[in-house]
Amino acid sequence: MRTAAAESLRRLLRRPLASYYLVLGSAGLLLVLGLIMVFSASSVMSRVQFGYPYYFFARQLAWVIVALPMAWVASRMPARLIRKFGLPMLIVAAMLLMLTFVPGLGVTRGGNTNWLDLGGPFLIQPSEPAKLALIVWGAGMFALKGRLLTQWKHLMIPFVPVSGAIVALTIGQHDLGTALVLMAIVLTLLWVVGVPTWLFGLALGVVGVVGAYFVTASENRMSRVVSFLDPFSDFSGTGYQAANSIYAFATGGWWGSGLGASRLKWGQLPEAHTDFIFSILGEELGLPGALMVLGLFFALGFAGIRIAMRTTDTFTRLAAAGITGWLIVQAIINLGSVLVVFPVIGVPLPLVSYGGASMVVVIVAVGILMALAKEEPGAREALAARKQARRERRRLRRIRA
């Protein structure tokens, strides 16, 4: 029976559109689950602050409605067209990052000046589009160089200096969590493009030294690192969030307390609907819910790696690997912080956490990943055949009618 199931799975994965539907299915389920959990985790705070329980859910749903058509358009673009957007996206992202340093435009939240006030309800986090822009631009730039990539200087210039400038702007906002994600994106692209091992090791070492320096240079960050080893040693201080995250999972037990029945969301766990939404999910849905999230991220990561490995186009391979590396590394950092495996770093869980700019950019990135899945051998032909089959069925129904 196991052999038959394994053979059926292999047959499904051999289909040209397997990656396309894996991305669509896993990302779609994470998005739906995220909307449900945002409503559950934020309902109490919404009622207290705004008088009704749907405030944060309605905003999240509005951002999703805005993002889905953009992702649909992106999913229908050929890779060569997506590639052309790389440089304009990077320039706009860099300009938005620099505007956060302008007094009156940059907004400080949680000690990080990483928000940009554009007036009215338009408050965005420029580091989020910078992630996608860096991937698309970097993949296009490496693809353009072609055979020159056999020379190490062409592997590093201009990608490393430009990436370093984007990371420096993010660190200047005091947002070390996002800077770590950006560094992970840079390392992913360098690894996939084929940087020599010694050079990759050097880049990894530089990232480690820079990260260690900025952690030790900040008393707040150092206290987070120390308290994460034993959150209960400073329960009312730096360990408060991590300790209450542990309490959330403990309160839910193996099978969870039930959807909507969280106790920690009643003001005890800060950022319950954003960075620590997985704690509320674990409390309400228990181990099955937590494993479902992990399984969906595994499926998304598997599909992204599969796209990168099966394509013959350099841009597609690098862009797919970059997007996949970004989403999975950010998910690992978030889940590690919530489960107190890592210090509390403060990045959202992709497709699940509340957040406008991050949600829109991630959904568009998923749309691009779906477009890249069509570059796999036989994928476009399979899509064309399905469209033709649908047209034929509609024609037959009209004849019968």
Residue 2: band (very low, low, confident or very high) from pLDDT cuts 50, 70, 90: low
Which residues, in sequence order, are CB contacts of 189 under 8 Å at separation 6+? 135, 138, 139, 142, 159, 318, 321, 322, 325
Q: What is the pLDDT of residue 119?
A: 67
Q: Which of the residue ranges 198-202, 241-245, 346-350, 361-365 would you say has the lowest mean pLDDT?
A: 198-202
pLDDT value, residue 175: 85
**pLDDT for 243:** 87
pLDDT of residue 199: 82
Asked if residues 228 and 178 have their Cβ atoms less than 8 Å apart, the reply is: no
Dihedral angle sign, alpha carbons of residues 210, 216, 218, 223 = positive
> Which of 14-28, 165-179, 292-306, 331-345 is predicted most confidently?
292-306
Q: Return the beta strands (E) in 118-187 as ranges.
A: 123-124
Across 77-86, 261-270, 279-288, 360-369, least confident range: 261-270
List CB contacts of 252: < 8 A, sequence separation 6 or more: 262, 282, 283, 284, 285, 286
Please report, for the chain, the start and end positions of each structural domain, with discontinuous segments joined by +.
16-383
**Cis amide leading into 158 (omega within 30):** yes
- Which tokens sit at 250? 């403990």
- What long-range pairs does 260-264 form, CB within 8 A, spacing at least 24? 260/40, 260/43, 260/284, 262/40, 262/41
Mean pLDDT, to the nearest integer, of 168-197? 90
Task: Record the tokens describing residue 332, joined without a space.
Answer: 């690992």
Q: List Cβ neighbours of 251 (8 Å cut-off, separation of 6 or more).
A: 257, 262, 263, 264, 283
